[in-house]
A and B are shown apart, each in its own frame.
Chain A
Amino acid sequence: AQSVSQHNHHVILSEAASLELGCNYSYGGTVNLFWYVQYPGQHLQLLLKYFSGDPLVKGIKGFEAEFIKSKFSFNLRKPSVQWSDTAEYFCAVNGEGNMLTFGGGTRLMVKP
């Protein structure tokens, strides 16, 4: 069975700091990978996605993620966070049978 692990449950940063959120998955077959963001009281919205090709993918709002197949990782990065990035971030894998599994989420707080 596939699973997703996000290492950081809570992250607190100051504005302009760099961000990296870890994500590892377990599934030996072909995968599609996603990062979603959930602002307080809202539903999940797609930040970026990896299907194939260039393992470095760029998403909205200056976010990017790198797929490292050998490490089963898909870490999310942003060079300079803003207060408006305060939200919860979810990594997800689409693998076996098109089942979409999410990690436990990382709550990011950006201090102004």
Chain B
Amino acid sequence: GQQVMQIPQYQHVQEGEDFTTYCNSSTTLSNIQWYKQRPGGHPVFLIQLVKSGEVKKQKRLTFQFGEAKKNSSLHITATQTTDVGTYFCGNTGKLIFGQGTTLQVKP
């Protein structure tokens, strides 16, 4: 069946380092959404990308949708302890999510 894979599954970084998580789909997606889940919390919507090659920024977060609309990435510049959590990509049209990347930030 259709799958969305995320890598890495876990990432530990020192505060101030950059972080990137990658999302790969086996098929073309109409859009990609990113969610953040803080420890003990619930997923919260961050952003949606729709266009091929689209790049969107939210402060230190940069989201990119691949040209073929089969992959996406989330890059965090100069991580802070508030960035700790699990980041999920997914396509809510097909109701599929990646397994998430859990980010730990050491102060």
Q: Say whether A and B bind each other.
A: no
